[in-house]
Each structure stands twice: as C-alpha cells, then as structure tokens.
Structure 1
Amino acid sequence: MTPSVFGQIWVNSPHCASGYYTIYGEESLQADHFNTKLSFGDPQTLWARTGYLGFIKRTELLDASGDRHDALFVVGSLDETLELRGLRYHPIDIETSVSRSHRSIAESAVFTWTNLLVVVAELSGSEQEALDLVPLVTNVVLEEHHLIVGVVVIVDPGVIPINSRGEKQRMHLRDSFLADQLDPIYVAYNM
C-alpha cells in the first residue's frame, strides 16, 4: 500500500443523499457538497464531499479473507480547522497539548482572532496558579505546533460552551470573548 494522503473524505454510494432537507421538507441542494465529479476517473460517477478530513492507513486487523485491511481515520471537520501562516491546524491537537501542559487545566479551547491564536483554558486549581499557566501554555503550543499564542485567557471551569453531543462550541466561545463576556480570571496578550 502506498502511504496515505491526508485530505477531505469523499463518498460514493447508491445511498448518498442528493442534498440536505430543510425543516419545511424541501431539498436544499448544495452543489459544493453533493453531485461532485473528480477530474480523473469515470466522469459519470458522482461523489458527496463529507466536509471531514481523514486518511487511510493499513491496520494489523484481518478481514474475512485473512488479509490485513485499510481503515479510514477521521480527523475532524474541515470547517473547524484553523488557518495560520498559510497552514491548517486542527483545534483538538492544540487543545490536547494545552490540557496536558498542567494538571490545573480542566479543559481548553482555541480559535483565531485577527490572525492571532487565542487559547482559553479552564482553571481547576487555585486562582494563584493562573499566572503560572501562561508561560506553560505558550511554550507547549510553540514547542509542539510551532505556533505563537497571541492571547491566553484563563477562566473558571464550565465557561467553555459544550453542546448536547459533548462538542466544544468554539465559535460561541469566540463570540463571548469578542463581546467581553467571559469574566476571565486572567488574560495575557502576546502581541
């Protein structure tokens, strides 16, 4: 097997939808997601773009014939990626690094604001630790992702909004940050 390429997952199946349905029952066709054709291969084959990024990798698992098989690894939504310095980053990668940087960080979330990376970290320890977290957060992001953090916001637990499926609502968090509604414990600007 050749090395896998990281990219958007496209699906071709007789069970693919031809569009989204609105609450009024009408079909809303999204030309950029449905009925898309590749520039190579069969020109009659229609594909649906999932909007998710992923890659295929050979696994150690065996299929019914006893051969090792390939597995699709879904990385996350293309809409959630952050574009900084012309490169795309997945928020969950940066957030995992931040959360691992200190035991007092309960949860973290990242987003961009005017080309700056903003890190919001929920503090589960004492407020005296808030100031100590800033260099830890900026260093871990620089070392592991080669990105400079523009703003670090330390908040109380439960400030990062989570939807009913357990997904972080980063755009709601960004809106609250811009509206100065986070009630932070500490904010550090690195501009």
Structure 2
Amino acid sequence: MKRNYSVTSYRQHHVRIWVSSPHNATGYYTVYGEEALHADHFNTKLSFGDTQTVWARTGYLGFLRRTDLTDASGERHDALYVVGSLDETLELRGMRYHPIDIETSVIRSHKSIAECAVFTWTNLLVVVVELEGSEQEALDLVALVTNVVLEEHYLIVGVVVVVDPGVIPINSRGEKQRMHLRDGFLADQLDPIYVAYNM
C-alpha cells in the first residue's frame, strides 16, 4: 500500500507531517460515539502544486533521511523519522524550537546530567537538569548548560534549575510531562538543588 507524505517547511531540520492514504480518518470520535469532524486536520489541500489531493495533518514533526534500505525494485529510499508533536514546540524570538533538540544538546554537555527538560516561562527558556553526581557540580552545570544552548541553538537560557534524579515527570509511555514540570516550577514544588536566573 503506497502512502503519500507531504512535508511543509518548518525550520531547517523538522517538517510538519501530512498523510494522504485511502485509510485516512475523517474525524475523531467523542466519548458519546459521535464523529467530531475537524476539516482543518482531516480535509486539507495544498494551495500550490497538487491542489486536488486530500491530506490529513498529523500534528507531528519529522524529517526525511536517505537510508541504505531498498524497496522491492532494489532502489534505496527515504525513511520518515517522527520527532514529536507540534504542540510541544517552544516559540522563542519568533521562531519555533522542538524541546528534544535542546534537551539532547544539554544532556550531551556533561556526564553528570541524567535527564533534562525545557519549557518557556514569560518568554524565557527554562532548562531543568537532573544531576547524577555531587551537589558541588550543580554550580558548574549552569555555565555548561547556558553555553551549549547558546552555541548550538543561538538561544539565551533564562533559568537553569538543577534537581535530583527522578524529579522530571514521565508518563506511562516514557514521554516527558513538560507542562506538569512547568506547573511544579511555578508552584515552587521542585525542591531544587540550585537555581540560576539569567534575567
């Protein structure tokens, strides 16, 4: 079964994923069994190029990459990698960033960082890092975190919060609950080891 994938430009690396297939849904079902149609998600057409094909907007971001895998004809093909939900993106300085990109950079910056999560607060980027090591390293992490985010993403970190392992909430599917973390930060419930404000 051949499916068509469309990608609309979204920053340099990630694109919005649209799907066209005979198996596309026409809407969501509510708890009452009624179909709630969302024409903007399930019945979208391009405004240029092929304006007749009907697309479903998945709400996810991804990218295409050439692989060494071959199809039935023996030709190499592209693979679609799903990065995450469009709803999770952060808007800073008029651009959107996906948290996973920033979090990956931060985790790679030091061996004592067990986990990381980012969110925005009053137009500031907040980086929460779980420290797996001595508390004396907490102060050193602040400079590392702010530098790596500036160098790799050209963003200024507004707040760095260093916490114990296990503070960043994870759901049953292994996904970070960034909004719950943000709520805990705003309610002063994270019990941080160290907090640095760069305002």
TM-score exceeds 0.5: yes
Report the AA paired with residue 169 of structure 1: Q
**Counterpart-to-counterpart distance in 1, 2:138 and 2:73:** 56
In structure 2, the residue matched to 1:20 is 28
In structure 2, the residue matched to 1:138 is 146
**1:47 has 2:36 as partner:** no
Query: Which of 66, 79, 85 in structure 2 is aligned with 1:71?
Result: 79
Unmatched 5+ residue regions in structure 1? Answer: none
Displacement of 1:49 in angstroms is: 0.1
In structure 2, the residue matched to 1:124 is 132
Displacement of 1:44 in angstroms is: 4.5
Question: Is the partner of 1:8 in helix, strand or coil?
Answer: strand
Report the AA paired with residue 85 of structure 2: S
**1:87 has 2:109 as partner:** no
Q: Assess, with a 3 A threshold, how the Cα gap between structure 1 residues 140 and 43 changes in structure 2: closer, same or farther.
A: closer
Question: Is the partner of 2:195 in helix, strand or coil?
Answer: strand
Displacement of 1:43 in angstroms is: 4.7
**1:111 has 2:119 as partner:** yes
In structure 2, the residue matched to 1:185 is 193
In structure 2, the residue matched to 1:7 is 15
Which 4+ residue blocks in structure 1 deviate beyond 4 angstroms?
A: 41-44
**1:98 has 2:106 as partner:** yes
Which deviates more, 107-116 or 85-94?
Answer: 85-94
Report the AA paired with residue 125 of structure 2: L
Question: Is the partner of 2:136 in helix, strand or coil?
Answer: helix
In structure 1, the residue matched to 2:175 is 167
Deviations 1:116-164 (A, max 9, x none): 1000001111212111111111111111111110000011111100000
Displacement of 1:7 in angstroms is: 2.0
**Counterpart-to-counterpart distance in 1, 2:112 and 2:129:** 9
In structure 1, the residue matched to 2:166 is 158
**Counterpart-to-counterpart distance in 2, 1:55 and 1:100:** 22
In structure 2, the residue matched to 1:59 is 67
**Counterpart-to-counterpart distance in 2, 1:57 and 1:97:** 21
Displacement of 1:179 in angstroms is: 1.3
Displacement of 1:41 in angstroms is: 4.8
TM-score normalised according to structure 2 size: 0.88
Superposition RMSD in Å: 1.6
